[in-house]
Amino acid sequence: MPKILTIAALQLLDASGRILLVRKQGTTTFMQPGGKLEFGESPLSAVLRETQEEIGLVFSPDQVTAMGMWKGPAANEADTDIHAYLFAARTLESPRIQAEIDQIMWLEPETAMARPDIAPLLREKVLPGLLGR
């Protein structure tokens, strides 16, 4: 039986519709900013905290939109599934590499979908939604 991690992730788009992807230290897979909920923390609070910690961007609760929950395999942890609360936001600001983030990039959704190194949440839920599939 796989372990379950509950996370919150942010689909962050810039003004031209590119999506921000991050790669955490010691991993090979790109994903959205976000992470595990702390004990007693709401998904909204978690995504706001993780976004500030990982890429230095601060959003108020009214600047993000809840997009539901997705269940599927974790990107970087064997025998682990995630329950991912997904949120969306747009920004004109430039993110900064912080905390455990090793690399960031802005990509067109079509370009991101063609990459072999993207997380299942991106491939199965986020990018198809952006591409209208």
- For the entire predicted model, the pTM comes to 0.94
Can you tell me the distance from the alpha carbon of 72 to that of 79, in angstroms, rounded to the nearest whole number?
11
Q: What does the pLDDT read at residue 79?
A: 87
**pLDDT tens, position by position, 79-89:** 889 999 999 99
- Reading the chain (133 residues) residue by residue, the pLDDT tens digits are 789 999 999 999 999 999 999 999 999 999 999 999 999 999 999 999 999 999 999 999 999 999 999 999 888 888 889 999 999 999 999 999 999 999 999 999 999 999 999 999 999 999 999 999 7
Structure tokens given for 46: 């978690």
Which residue is associated with the tokens 């994903």? 31
Q: Which of 98, 12, 16, 9 is nearest to 46 (CA)?
A: 9
Structural domains of the chain ordered from first start: 3-131 (3.90.79.10)
Phi-psi region of 68 (alpha: psi -120 to 50; beta: other; left: phi over 0): left
Helix (H) or strand (E) holding 67: strand 65-73
β-strand pairing of 80-90 with 19-24: unpaired
**pLDDT tens, position by position, 93-102:** 999 999 999 9
Q: What CA–CA distances, in Å, run from 126 to 25, 40, 47, 57, 123?
A: 22, 26, 16, 20, 7
